[in-house]
Amino acid sequence: MEVKSACGFFMHSEIVGEIMIKDLEKPVMYLKGMGEKRSELYEKLGIKTVYDLLYHFPRYYIDFTSSVPIGEAPLNENCVVKGRIVKKMPEARIRKGLSVYKAVFTDDITDLVLVMYNTGFLFKSLETDKEYFLVGKLTGNLVRKEMNSPQIYPADMTELVQPVYRLTEGVTQPLLRQTVRNALSVFNEYIYEPLPKWVMQENNLCSLEYALKNIHFPQDAHTCEIAKRRLVFEELLTLQLGMLMMKSRSRISCGCRMKNLEIDEYYDALPFTLTDGQRSAIEDCIRDMQQNCPMNRLIQGDVGSGKTAVAAGAAYFAFKNGCQTALMAPTEILAAQHFETLKEFLEPMGVKVILLTGSMTPKAKKLVKEGVESGEYSVVVGTHALVQKSTVFHKLGLVITDEQHRFGVEQRALLAEKGDNPHKLVMSATPIPRTLALMIYGDLDISVLKELPKGRQPVETYAVTGKLRERAYNYIKQHLDEGRQGYIVCPMIEESDSDLQNVKSYAKKLSEGAFKDYSVGLLHGKMPSVKKEQVMTDFKEHKIDLLVSTTVVEVGVDVPNATIMVIENSDRFGLSQLHQLRGRVGRGQYKSSCILITDNVTDEVRERLRVLSKTSDGFKISEEDLKLRGPGDFFGSRQHGLPDLKIADMSHDPDVLKAAQETARKILAADPKLESRENSCLKEQVEKLFERNLSDN
């Protein structure tokens, strides 16, 4: 038994070698130099524990070995130069509260002017004739170069690769670096090794200790790569273990095997003829639901491909077999919309459909829940409220999740636990490239809706700069004057108050200015649900002509009369997301258009937006997206409802993915529930990643 004291604050009396994640779960507050105030700042970065800190990976590194002569450094790009200050100019007070400090900096061949603002203290501390590195952007021209507010490092420092972290106000790079360093030195011995030895050997991986040290403070690009590869592998392995475990659990047995009953009356009653894809997707479901093990099927179809009619068909089949169906949508707006659609499709055939959402009054909820429990309602449509413990089903046979990329994987699992291993149907409009689909859905069966219903015309798409905004407005007005409706979408990246303010004031400006003769509505995520629904209903009923909105309209909103969409700051979105947004128009018989406005006209943005004007094939678009952004962004974004990955999004290496998948299979083949001692750390990590206990039941 060894007693350790870390940071002189807490005592440790556990056997070394039995060290688990919990040892790194000490609050960062107890690290040297921290205290309460600072740890509150760190919390804003999502860092509460030492573990969080060590897993707060650098966004990138500054490599001082890559410094270039000033004369050769590119203009307007970040670079590292090395030299010394030869002359300091006197402080210049530009106006109250703004002082400028300038100095001549040289590498003995070329000079540059170093410019700093309001940093007198730092400026004064700089010594002339001592060598420094400057990190920043060179501006100016060939004869007169300038560097504004660069980061400055003494050239004799020992670490020539420096991590750069995501920061928050009050936490600087040097501070964060120092904190990580402290944590590494104090907790070094507490860094356990979660991977079994054979896994490390077979995949040529370094230890976790080495990886954590070198991801933060690599000696060079090579050690950094080694560290990264190990961390990526481990994260993907953990993810894959979790996914496979969840799946195997849902494969056990089926409590609601169904009989082969005809549903022709459903096909006959629909107001349209199903596409071949829709028809065969429904047939896939019907076949699955007659098997011994529960259906586990994904319907993948581009926006507007008619996934709801497929869901309704499956629900009707369950109904005929005396089972209930639960349909879960990511937002109240969508839940309400699905409710309306399913009611329209199914009620004529005697199916009772009900809506259950979080914003209903407790009394209304109670009534609905009673009806669900007694079996009065056969189809329940709702939001997350559906998964709450107090909802009891009479006989839940089918669980449908729409646009599942909005959900946590866990939520899907939760709902599935409600019945006696019910059948599961997932609808997704996000076309996912094959490798990723494999990772995310594993052995899920997939039905693809390839074609759109007949008569749909592709949405004409243009990318323009803000200069043409007035013309875009006029174009909208033309549509509105013809009795159509339109959207203007503004991104709210951070969901921050200032962004919100922007959307609000933009809407106000439009309703008082360019669109004062029209009815303008506003929709954003921070509105109370009741309000949102009211706005959406008003828009559907054409009480609103033009809807100014954040991306809440993104998923599945169906208003066929809407034929024009303008997207502001369109460069802020990924291609797939733009495609989803664009899918809100072109849903009826009218010709529709989409105008992408951006003032960010780099080649890259132009190239990206051009893809959208060229094609309306969601799969092609996602492939382009993948090419342009790399798989990193795909993993990184929360699009797939995957747990947040910390590092896998830095990986552009499909081989690691494959190796991790392979290994996960091997591990589970020998130890399906990760019960062996060798796998105990991995088990903890899986649980941590999925935030819930996968083996409880």
Chain contacts with ligand ADP (rule: CB under 6 A): 272, 274-275, 278, 301, 303-309, 429, 453, 556, 558, 560, 587
At residue 669, φ and ψ (nearest 5 deg) are -65, -35
Question: For residues 361 and 310, is the Cβ–Cβ distance under 8 A?
Answer: no
By beta carbon distance, the residue nearest ligand ADP is 306
- Cβ proximity to ligand ADP: between 196 and 306 the closer is 306
254-266 in b/e form (b: 16+ CB < 10 A) is: bebebeeeebeeb
- Cβ proximity to ligand ADP: between 473 and 590 the closer is 590
Binding mask 508-547 for Mg ion (x = CB under 5 A): ----------------------------------------
- Cβ proximity to Mg ion: between 556 and 618 the closer is 556
How far apart are the C-alpha atoms of 246 and 17, rounded to whole Å? 29
Binding mask 607-646 for Mg ion (x = CB under 5 A): ----------------------------------------
Which DSSP helix (H) or strand (E) runs through 685?
Answer: helix 680-690
556 scored as a contact of Mg ion (CB under 5 A): yes
- Cβ proximity to ligand ADP: between 245 and 274 the closer is 274
Residue 547 corresponds to which tokens in the numbers above? 């809807």
Residue 675 corresponds to which tokens in the numbers above? 């019960």
Question: For residues 225 and 647, is the Cβ–Cβ distance under 8 A?
Answer: no
- Cβ proximity to ligand ADP: between 612 and 682 the closer is 612
687 binds, among ligand ADP, Mg ion, none (CB under 5 to 8 A by kind): none
Shortest Å distance, C-beta 618 to ligand ADP: 10
At residue 239, φ and ψ (nearest 5 deg) are -60, -45
Please give the span between the terminal C-alpha atoms of the chain, in angstroms, as a whole number: 36
**Sheet with 296-301, side-by-side order of all strands:** 353-356, 379-382, 324-328, 396-402, 423-428, 296-301, 445-449
- Cβ proximity to ligand ADP: between 563 and 598 the closer is 563
Provide the total of helices (H) and of strands (E) in the chain, helices listed first: 23, 24
Shortest Å distance, C-beta 269 to ligand ADP: 13
How far apart are the C-alpha atoms of 351 and 321, rounded to whole Å? 12
- Cβ proximity to ligand ADP: between 27 and 453 the closer is 453
422 binds, among Mg ion, ligand ADP, none (CB under 5 to 8 A by kind): none
By beta carbon distance, the residue nearest Mg ion is 556
Alpha helices in 205-346 (DSSP H): 208-216, 221-250, 264-269, 276-288, 307-320, 332-346
Shortest Å distance, C-beta 337 to ligand ADP: 8
DSSP string, 319-331: HHTT-EEEEE-SS
- Cβ proximity to Mg ion: between 150 and 556 the closer is 556
At residue 324, φ and ψ (nearest 5 deg) are -90, 155
391 binds, among ligand ADP, Mg ion, none (CB under 5 to 8 A by kind): none
Binding window for Mg ion (CB under 5 A); candidates: 16-24, 390-398, 554-562, 648-656: 554-562
304 binds, among ligand ADP, Mg ion, none (CB under 5 to 8 A by kind): ligand ADP
How far apart are the C-alpha atoms of 497 and 430, rounded to whole Å? 29
The closest alpha carbon to 486, from 427, 380, 586, 563, belongs to 563
58 binds, among Mg ion, ligand ADP, none (CB under 5 to 8 A by kind): none
- Cβ proximity to ligand ADP: between 308 and 577 the closer is 308
**Total of residues contacting Mg ion (CB under 5 A):** 1
Shortest Å distance, C-beta 276 to ligand ADP: 10
Shortest Å distance, C-beta 556 to ligand ADP: 5
- Cβ proximity to ligand ADP: between 161 and 281 the closer is 281
Question: For residues 559 and 584, is the Cβ–Cβ distance under 8 A?
Answer: yes
301 binds, among ligand ADP, Mg ion, none (CB under 5 to 8 A by kind): ligand ADP
Alpha helices in 407-466 (DSSP H): 409-416, 434-441
Shortest Å distance, C-beta 585 to ligand ADP: 12
Shortest Å distance, C-beta 80 to ligand ADP: 49
Return residues touching Mg ion (CB under 5 A).
Answer: 556
